[in-house]
Structure formats: C-alpha cells, structure tokens
Amino acid sequence: TAENTYNLSEAKRLLEAANWKDTDGDGVRECVDCLYAENGDPLRFALLLDDTNQRFSDNGRVIAAQLEAAGFLVGIDMFSGERLAELQQEQRFDAYLSTFTITLPGMRYEATSTYGIESETRIGEFPMVWLYVPDEFYVAAPGVQNFSPQQGLPLWNMTEWAITK
C-alpha cells in the first residue's frame, strides 16, 4: 500500500486542474467552470468537532491549517451533547471528529464520562476514519411490541420484543 503523505504542492496542482483557482488573490479558491459548483463559489470545507476532547480540537486545527494552505475556506463548528448529535444527524458537514458513544435507554448518563476515559485508555492512539454517516431507518410489523431500535444498534433490546396477535 502506498503511503499517504501530506503534499501541498500536489494538492494545489490537483485543485488547479479541477478549475478551483484563487481568482481574487485572497487565498481562497473559487470555482471557474468546475464540476459540481457554481462559478465564483468558494472552495468550502465544513468541519464538525466534538468539543469534549482536546485531541479533536487540536486535530481540527491541524486539518483546517492544511486545507487553508491549499486554498479552502474552512469553517469549524464545535459542539457537544445533544446539539452535536442533532448536527450529526443533519449531515451538513464535510468531516466530523468525535468520540463513539452508545447511549441506550436506562443507561446512566453521568457514567458516560468514566466510560469515555476507560475507552480512551484502551484504544490509545488507535486511528479511525469514518467514511460516511449511517442514515438508518428501522421498521417492524404492527404486532411487534417493545421494538425500539437505536441508530447503529438495531437489535440492542431484541430479547424484550414480543409478537402479539
């Protein structure tokens, strides 16, 4: 497997070839007869970060600096908790850095920070790149009681399901 290295000159060359050019000298590239954008639109990148973890904030700044050096206009939004979950579901971002947390009914919310610390201890610097945001929809026949799927865990309470006539 070829090593993926940061190569600013190659990134700029590829963007130029795709007709993303800095036409006004402000450091941000604009579309000039490029695909999938209108002429004059800036080359934007929206980064969503989980603000509960300093590592994500630090990594987000590095990502933003690298993209800006290539000519992107980078927007960083940092949230946590419910608002972060809402924004994740809306899927109006180009990249999202966050922890992986499972919240199930009956789970003690105050214990999640302890779970998070333990998870970080166990995974250390494990690299993970999500290439998509799952958009899942689960259904059950009308006679299934206690059907309560959670995103990413559709069968979490399967032992509680009951079928009635």
Angle 132-133-138 from CA coordinates, rounded to 5°: 125
pLDDT band for position 52 (50/70/90)?
confident
In a domain, 138, yes or no: no
Domain that holds residue 51: 8-99
In a domain, 134, yes or no: no
In a domain, 136, yes or no: no
pLDDT tens, 90-136? 888 888 887 655 666 666 767 766 766 766 666 555 555 555 555 66
In a domain, 20, yes or no: yes
Please tell me whether the overall predicted TM-score, pTM, comes out greater than 0.85 for this model: no
In a domain, 83, yes or no: yes
In a domain, 124, yes or no: no
The stretch 18-47 carries a mean pLDDT of 96
In a domain, 159, yes or no: no
pLDDT at 1 over 50: no
Determine the pLDDT at residue 122: 61
In a domain, 126, yes or no: no
Structurally, how many domains does the chain consist of?
1
Determine the pLDDT at residue 19: 97
Residue for token pair 């990502």: 63
Lowest mean pLDDT among 41-55, 74-88, 128-142, 151-165: 128-142
* Cα separations in angstroms, 56 against 49, 59, 96, 113: 6, 5, 10, 16
Report the CATH number that the domain containing residue 49 is assigned in CATH: 3.10.105.10
